[in-house]
Amino acid sequence: MDFSTFLIQTLNSVQYGLLLFLVAAGLTLIFGIMGVINLAHGSFYMMGSYLAFALSPVVASTLGGGLITTLIIGLIIAIILGYILEWMFYSYLYERDHLQQVLMTYGLILVIEEIRSLLVGDDVHGVPIPDWLSSSIKLSDVMTYPVYRLFISGVCILLALGMFLVLSKTKLGMMIRAGSVNREMIQSLGVNIKFLYRIVFAAGIAIAALAGMVAAPVSSVYPGMGQGVLIICFVIVVIGGIGSIKGALIASLFIGFIDTFGKVLLPEVAGVLVYVFMAAILLWKPSGLFKAGS
Amino acid sequence: MTQDQAKYLMRGVKLTKRWGGLVAVNEVDIDLALGQIHAVIGTNGAGKSTLINLLSGELPLSSGTVELLGSDVTEKSQPMRAHLGLGKSYQRNTIFPELTVLENCRLSAQSRIQKPWHFWQDGQRCKVSHQRAIQTLEKTGLSTVIHRQAGLLSHGQKRQLEVAMCLATEPKVLLLDEPLAGMGADETDRMLNFLISLRADHAIMLVEHDMDAVFKVADVITVMVNGSVITKGSPDEVRNNPEVQSAYLGESE
Amino acid sequence: MKKSQLFFLSFLTIVLMALPFLGSEYSVDWMTKTLIYGIFALSLELLVGTTGLVCFGQAAFFGIGAYAVVKISADLITPDAIYLLPISMILAGVFALFVGALSLRTKGVYFIMVTLAFAQMAYYVIHDTPIGGGTDGIYLYNKPSLFGWSISSSVEFYLFTLGCLLFVFILLGLITHSRFGRALTGIRINELRMRAIGYQTYNYKLMAFVISGMIAGLAGYLFAVKDGFVNPELLSWHLSGAVLIMIILGGLGHLRGAFIGAFAFALLEEFFRSEAIFGSFAKYWHLGLGLSIIFCVAFLPRGLFGIPSIWQSKLMGTKNASVEDQE
């Protein structure tokens, strides 16, 4: 493999890993703080992509705006949706055992998939890359790399930084981190748990949806996209350690590399590699790499 | 009988447990002799629970050795130690609430004759475990409620069942972690008399917070503070020890 | 065996044996599929209901049993059930031994995720590598037979499947009541306590895992032979999810519940897919199914099997505190 191919694959790995991180971060927080296994999390990623697909023509014609406007509007919609879903559905899951959560969120996946099917059908769609991001930069004489993919990584890094800042520097972040380690403790400290949960939930879903929105132009928009991301994100959360953002980031990057390079070097076993990796990590550390709250 | 002549059924030598930089148990020696109730007391965080878990096998040692009935069990898991004759009862209730009192004890007794390959015979028809369970429950004073669902017992009865389950495996050494937790005065007396009746045939280690109870039944008392043993002796010796008085008894008065 | 279980079994046997003479070919076929689901659900019941191990990868053992029969019978001249069936079960059991030995080192939700991941591994091996024949699946060309007698007609195969179901039912009934099964129940309720008493709980759990995997493999064998076709979706996590739903739907902790749940699930599927009832909306049948699952888990935590006791406690005004029907 020559250097520029290696560089391209590395950039792809990082981009894929960061995208996965956005989805996995929400998942690990929801799990760590509320103790809820959310099988439907992948569906929110899918919803983001479909939102991008549905909104971009509307935004273009009525507001004259481009991608950024679409992202902002989509984010707002996703936050509202997340808030409503938490209130209507997820808040009932907190006291239930894991099996019930798994099944109820599995039912939710089915419902969301069919509603999507009803509203927008089952076709594969594309979302156009805006002009100002559609060029490529030169890496060598023959190889170029699409700017849009760098943009995706950029957005993810921004969001990740934002997350780290909120979690480590703000009071809200401190409550969230404390809550992921010991739920009862923060309750006794007088924190309004319901409200905290709702925020964490809406944020987790919104970030996953944003990841879907940003990824739509390169991965295209199709019915099964949520499932693939979901399973991988569960693997990431388990490897990284439930409730650990740092763990989710490191695991996401690892998986990004394994999956990307795997597909290039060993295409037949690429699908299996990720799971082999997970099995190996869990045998070494049965509770994942990092503890909750880190 | 003096300490030297006593037959030691379980010994812990220089038991140490470190959690990262924190030393929870620091080179503690403990001997459990047949016919003796050895109580371990100490303030909260003194390391008593950690000590009992090191002896039972639930926590791995950082250093030190454990000997049970003459053999070294330092590397042996908890189920293996149970087979060699170690029984433990827990501070919180670990009974099986959805099963009957009888089944709770029978399942305990069954661990001695597990025979998992006998899949055609109903476990509850196993005569040996059934007999042992009935006998243990009679000894513990729970004969009247053997068919009741364990979750419906009173707290005191649940604590009794907790000890009964431990006894059903016919252990020689008993590690009792706060068996009196949450009990009222009558229940406490009943339990203490019961422990005294067990004394002759077992080596008993008792971790307890109830000082009156401890001084009533213990033959030997070990006092722990911050993971180390500060003194060990008969109840009178301990009561009159100035260090103990200042570190523990004096403050709690 | 308890009176109620005996009654249930006899009732089931009589009704089901009468079916071929009363029902159409379609209904016999449908019932065969449901019986296979029943065996599949029973395999998971041993793990989840009795031992408390929530396995999210049961479809892998099902799929391996199915693929085993297709791959092996291609080389045999007269593939008789008498050796194909045990081989399928053993292969599924070997994979279960591998997965179980590794997964049982984890607990709680990590266990759920690890079992899912191992199933995904198996799925991708079948899906992506030449072993599995790819997404299109493989066809089975040989007709099944038992001891040389043909069991390839609908009715013959139906009766064979029914026989397998009864066998599994009785076997699991014996196992759950045996010392081994009682120990598994103890492990479910409080594993720590069981270890303190002297049970090597890891070994017990592993044994349950392997038995469960073998029975799932049996169901897979029947499925492959019935349709003469296997594809990678037999190992998908959707199927693992579906079988979990079946046992919750029926009611955890009861073998009868597993069968009832499988039957109810198959009915629900038929119902929501039926164009006669829903017209063109029937193609969105996942919606109805999803809502039913949510409803059932939310309001019937003890499944359909728990309905009589809910009524009973409502009528008597007493709290539901009966000694759990230890099956």
For C251-267, write each residue's pLDDT tens digit: 888 888 898 899 999 98
Does residue C2 or residue B118 have the better pLDDT? B118
Q: With H, G, I as helix, E, B as strand and everything else as coil, classify residue B106.
A: helix
Which of A102, A115, A277, A290 is the mutation pick for testing C, counting most C CBs within 10 A? A102
- Rounded Cα distance, C274 and C283, in Å: 9
At residue C318, does pLDDT exceed 70? no
Phi, psi of C164 (to 5 degrees): -65, -45
Q: Is residue C2 part of a domain?
A: no
Q: Is residue C307 part of a domain?
A: yes
The pLDDT value recorded for residue C322 is 41
CATH class of B1-85+171-253: alpha beta
Q: With H, G, I as helix, E, B as strand and everything else as coil, classify residue B181.
A: coil
Q: With H, G, I as helix, E, B as strand and everything else as coil, classify residue B218.
A: coil
Average the pLDDT over C187-209 and give the result: 94
Which residue in B has a C-alpha nearest to residue C326's C-alpha? B99
Query: Would you say A294 and A167 are in contact if contact means Cβ atoms under 8 Å apart?
Result: no
Average the pLDDT over C103-132 and give the result: 84
Q: Considering CB atoms only, which of A106, A113, A275 is closest to C117?
A: A275
At residue B166, does pLDDT exceed 70? yes
Average the pLDDT over C198-212 and give the result: 95
Cα within 13 Å of Cα(A60), Cβ side: 13
- Here the tokens at position A196 are 């905290």
Query: Would you say C43 and C210 are in contact if contact means Cβ atoms under 8 Å apart?
Result: no
* CB contact set of B178 (below 8 Å; sequence gap of 6+): B91, B207, B208, B209
The 10s digit of each residue's pLDDT in B190-228 is 889 889 999 888 999 999 888 888 888 999 999 888 888
The pLDDT value recorded for residue B1 is 43
ipTM given for this complex = 0.87
Q: Measure CA of the first residue to CA of the last residue in chain A; give whole Å.
A: 37
Which of B55, B59, B77, B78 is the mutation pick for testing C, counting most C CBs within 10 A? B78
The 10s digit of each residue's pLDDT in C30-66 is 889 999 999 999 999 999 999 999 999 999 999 999 9
Q: Considering CB atoms only, which of B107, B111, B122 is closest to C178?
A: B122
CA C44 to chain centre: 5
- Here the tokens at position C191 are 């594993």
Look up the CATH number of the domain holding residue C168: 1.10.3470
Which of C172, C193, C326 is the mutation pick for testing B, counting most B CBs within 10 A? C193
Which residue in A has a C-alpha nearest to residue C132's C-alpha? A268
Q: Distance from C209 to chain A by nearest Cα, in Å?
A: 17
Q: Considering CB atoms only, which of C177, C190, C194 is closest to B122?
A: C177
The whole-model pTM stands at 0.87
- Rounded Cα distance, C66 and C139, in Å: 11
The pLDDT value recorded for residue C189 is 94
Q: With H, G, I as helix, E, B as strand and everything else as coil, classify residue B37.
A: strand
The pLDDT value recorded for residue A274 is 85
Average the pLDDT over C126-145 and give the result: 74
Residues of chain A with pLDDT under 70: 1, 63-65, 139-142, 180-184, 186-187, 190-191, 292-294
Q: A and B: touch, per 3+ CB pairs < 8 A?
A: no
Average the pLDDT over C295-318 and give the result: 74
- Flag the least confident range among A180-189, A277-286, C157-166, C215-224: A180-189
The pLDDT value recorded for residue B51 is 92
Element (H, E) at A106: helix A98-120
Does residue C327 or residue C207 have the better pLDDT? C207
The 10s digit of each residue's pLDDT in B167-184 is 999 999 999 999 888 888
Average the pLDDT over C187-191 and give the result: 94
- Here the tokens at position B11 are 């010994």
The pLDDT value recorded for residue C325 is 39
The pLDDT value recorded for residue C327 is 35
At residue C323, does pLDDT exceed 50? no
Domain with CATH 3.40.50.300 in chain B: 1-85+171-253
Residue B196: name the closest of B211, B218, B177 by CA: B218
Q: Considering CB atoms only, which of C54, C121, C241 is closest to A106?
A: C241
At residue B4, does pLDDT exceed 60? no
Count the domains in chain C: 1
Q: With H, G, I as helix, E, B as strand and everything else as coil, classify residue B12.
A: strand
Does residue A160 or residue B158 have the better pLDDT? B158
Residue B222: name the closest of B210, B231, B235, B209 by CA: B231
- Rounded Cα distance, A87 and B239, in Å: 59
Residue C320 confidence class, pLDDT cut points 50, 70, 90: very low
Q: Is residue C326 part of a domain?
A: no
Whether residues C120 and A275 touch (CB distance < 8 A) is answered with yes
- Here the tokens at position C172 are 């699991």
CA distances from A44 to A91, A116, B29, B120 (A): 17, 11, 58, 50
Question: CB-based burial of residue A222 (10 Å sphere; 0-12 exposed, 13-18 middle, 19+ buried)?
Answer: middle
Query: Three-state secondary structure along chain C?
Result: CCHHHHHHHHHHHHHHHHHHHHCCHHHHHHHHHHHHHHHHHHHHHHHHHHCCCCCCCHHHHHHHHHHHHHHHHCCCCCCEHHHHHHHHHHHHHHHHHHHHHHHCCCCHHHHHHHHHHHHHHHHHHHHHCHHHCCCCCEECCCCCEECCEECCCHHHHHHHHHHHHHHHHHHHHHHHHEHHHHHHHHHHHCHHHHHHHCCCHHHHHHHHHHHHHHHHHHHHHHHHHHHCEECHHHHCHHHHHHHHHHHHHHCCCCHHHHHHHHHHHHHHHHHHHCHHHHHHHHHHHHHHHHHHHHHHHHHCCCCHHHHHHHHHHHHHCCCCCCCCCCC
* Domain region containing C134: 24-316
Q: Is residue C111 part of a domain?
A: yes
The pLDDT value recorded for residue C275 is 72
Average the pLDDT over C100-114 and give the result: 86
Does residue B253 or residue C26 have the better pLDDT? C26
Question: CB-based burial of residue B8 (10 Å sphere; 0-12 exposed, 13-18 middle, 19+ buried)?
Answer: middle
